[in-house]
Amino acid sequence: MAISRAQLVKELEPGLNALFGLEYKRYDNQHAEIYVTESSDRAFEEEVMLSGFANADVKAEGAGINYDQAQETYTARYTMETIALAFAITEEAIEDNLYDRLASRYTKALARSMSNAKEVKGANPLINGLPQTATFLAGDGVALFSTAHTTISGTNVSNTLATQADLNETSLEQALIDIAAFTDERGLRIAAKGTKMIVPSGNQFNAERLLKSQGRTQTADNDINAINSMGMIPQGYRVNNYLTDADSWYIITDVPNGMKMFQRTPLTTAMEGDFDTGNVRYKARERYVFGVSDYRGIFGVQGV
């Protein structure tokens, strides 16, 4: 339905001093701190997890060598979504407006809506992958953050704490220890470490103290802050204002092919007039998808 003069009655009155409500600042590109962006020219993308070989065995003198087999383990599928929004303005509303070009003002609002949609979608895997929700699944069919990511070796990989905990020195140290204990699909240790922390705005003060204090936090002991002095999270922390669990926290690891965003079609805008009604229509459209290939690329905790 087109925006008509009925919705813009005050804008048509002489003496109007100001219009407000569309000039708020916005949080832009916070998803870029979580995801690696790749381009796509398909309706969907698939990435396949491969297993390597098991631990090498001792070969007895004169005995035959053991042979092992590599195989595919699971497939992460990214199905593109189309995100779009439009509005229309009646011919009469455009003619009678006295103060500003309606199109210019409302196309800014359109851009704001498209940007907000991307940030919300970018936060959803982190929100819905936590144990309390567990609706966003990794390619292995298990919740993104789980203690039970099964491998073909028969062992489990955990990218969340065994007992959920708020962000503090003890829980953060344990998360970094767990990351260092990651194994591959055949149970071999991999050299993984945390690189960056992602927190909601409600946890930013804890993150600031934990990562930047020279001494230990919340204790009278005169000890150094081991996390800080060892440079355990070298890229520091970033705030994501679209995370809805105020005490959740996440660590991006250096494991490749973790959190990914595939961009199918960049943001495009268009406008056209309708011959019959005279209305002018404006639209914005974009295609992309957020997801994860290797769940070892991120460690998430929901807090308590």
Q: What is the dihedral of CA 85, 90, 93, 96, to 10 degrees?
A: 140
Structural contact between residues 162 and 148, judged by C-beta atoms closer than 8 angstroms: no
User: What's the total number of domains in the chain?
Assistant: 1
Structure-block tokens of residue 253 = 């690891």
Domain assignment present for residue 13? The answer is no
The overall pTM is greater than 0.75: yes
- Token pair in block for residue 17: 């001093």
Does some domain include residue 23? no
Would 57 be classed as within a structural domain? no
Q: How far is CA 278 from CA 2, 86, 271, in A?
A: 11, 16, 13
Asked, for residue 25, whether it belongs to a domain, the answer is: no
Residue 54 in domain: no
Measured CA to CA, the distance from residue 62 to residue 65 in angstroms comes to 9
**pLDDT in single tens digits along all 304 residues of the chain:** 665 545 554 454 444 344 445 567 888 899 999 999 999 999 999 999 999 999 999 999 999 999 999 899 999 999 999 999 998 888 887 777 644 566 677 788 888 999 999 999 999 999 999 999 999 999 999 999 999 999 999 999 999 999 999 999 999 999 999 999 999 999 999 999 999 999 999 999 999 999 999 888 877 777 899 999 999 999 999 999 999 999 999 999 999 999 999 999 999 999 888 888 888 888 999 999 999 999 999 999 998 9
In a domain, 101, yes or no: yes
Is the residue at 37 inside a domain? no
Q: Which residues of 272-300 are buried (b: 16+ CB within 10 A; e: fewer)?
A: eeeeeeebbebebbbbbbbbbbbbbbbbb
Residue 263 lies in a domain: yes
What domain range is 264 assigned to? 74-301
